[in-house]
Structures are given as structure tokens and as C-alpha cells.
Amino acid sequence: MSYSVLYQDIGIKDYKEAWDLQENVFRKIISRKIALQKNNPTDEPAQPGTLFLVEHPHVYTLGKSGSEDNLLIDHIQLQTRDAQFFRTNRGGDITYHGPGQIVGYPIFDLEEIGIGLREYISRLEEAVILTVAAFGIRASRLKDATGVWLDAEQGKRPRKICAIGVRASKYVTMHGFAFNVNTNLTYFNYINPCGYTDKGVTSLEMELGGKQDPEKIKLLVKNNLREVFDLKWIN
């Protein structure tokens, strides 16, 4: 049976504002699950999953197990680059979000879908792999490194085109993926992306030699997520 998901493209949104939107949906799903597990009556209606797609102003975010040493500039230098910094409750280390990047925040109940967290991450990766394949680009996974990579074969220097960092509680997810489309990659020079010093980053623009249509990319991502998770979009 398909999993019902409310799709919302929320445009350009401050990172903390988008985080608060996620938390609101996340807590509603969890609170209802807990009430039902305790056989407590609840007036809360059934809560569908939600997918937010968003673009952020320049911001660096650090996962709960990450090291602030991987931010290579101080807070004054952040300000001169119009960038913010947040410690978050997701997994992973440090990453960058900014203009030209499609960020996806799926708040999904994995019990409803019938999968575990590892499979969930694998399906997020697969949706992006399918998306870049539509442009003739071969992307793949990299052993022991979450995300979607180009040139992941042994002996090459892999380049990440999509970072993934999630949080899950009671099998409910939040945070998600950051897909570099027309991203200004120079902002990655100020961090060790995801804690790595021996790997690079890339974007669709970089690989294809020109700006890409973000609306076209969003539609491809949305369709591929629907396919790999068997989703039913609702209004």
C-alpha cells in the first residue's frame, strides 16, 4: 500500500524556520504514535508524511556527532560571507546549504512504509542517483560514506553531489538530503565537508557546464522519491 505524503515546496527559507516546520510535523506524528501504542484515545487526526523541498540562504550545519574543527573559518568570517552556523540534532558531520541547492526534508513514518533506517537512507540515495542519471551522469554510493558520489571507483578522488544526514525517533525521520544543482561550491572551501579532507564536492552545474532549471530538477526528484518509496502525494 502506498504511503500518503503531503508535498510542500516552501521556496527560500531561513534554516531555523525550516527546522521548526519539520519539528512541528515530526512531533505530531510521534505524539500520535505514542498515544496509540498506549491505547490512549486521541483527537489527533491521522498525520500523513510530509516532504519539504527548500532552498536556504548560506548556512553551515553540524551534526550531533560532528566536530566544530571541521568549520575552517571563525564567526566573524562567517558574517563577512553572509553565512550562518547551526548545531543540529541530525546525524553526520558538517555540511553547507545555500542558494542553488535543493534541500529535501522528508518526515516519514518508516513503520508505515515497512523499512528500517538503513534502507531509508539507501532509497534517498537511489532517488538522487536516478535523478542525475537522467542527465547522463553516473552516480553511485561510496562504501562507509553516506550520500551520492561521482567517481566512487577505487583509485579515483570521489566527489559528492548530494549529502544526507537524518534524525529518527520512533521510526519517524526528519532532516534529509542536500542536492547540489547550481550551488556555489566555493563555500565548501571553508569546511571539511562531512568531515572528509580527501574527497571533493560537485554539482549538476559543474558536471554539465551550465546552469540547470531547478524546477525541472525538483520534479525529477519528486517523481523518483515517489517511485523508490511508493508514495502517494496528497494536497
Q: What integer pLDDT is reported at residue 65 of this predicted model?
A: 85
Catalytic residue list contains 194:
yes
Predicted local distance difference test score (pLDDT) of residue 36: 79
Domains of the chain and any CATH numbers? 3-234 (3.30.930.10)
**What integer pLDDT is reported at residue 138 of this predicted model?**
96
Q: Determine which one of 150, 168, 194, 231 is catalytic.
A: 194
* pLDDT cut 90: percent of the chain above it: 81
> In this predicted model, what pLDDT tens digit does every residue of 141-159 receive, in sequence order?
998 889 999 998 777 889 9
Per-residue HEC secondary structure of 153-190 comes to CCCCCCEEEEEEEEEEECCEEEEEEEEECCCCHHHHHH
Q: Which residue has the cell 559528492?
A: 160
Percent with pLDDT over 70 in the chain? 97
Q: What is the pLDDT of residue 58?
A: 97
Q: What is the mean pLDDT of residues 48-75?
A: 94
Q: Among candidates 52, 26, 54, which has minimal Cα distance to 105?
A: 52
Q: Give pLDDT tens digits for 87-102.
A: 999 998 999 999 999 9
- Which amino acid would we find at residue 112? E
Query: What was the pLDDT predicted at 185?
Result: 96
Residue 225 neighbours by CB under 8 Å, 6+ apart: 51, 104, 106, 124, 127, 231
The per-residue pLDDT for range 195-226, each reduced to its tens digit, is 776 789 999 999 999 999 999 999 999 999 99
**Measured in whole angstroms, how far is the alpha carbon of residue 105 from the centre of its chain?**
6
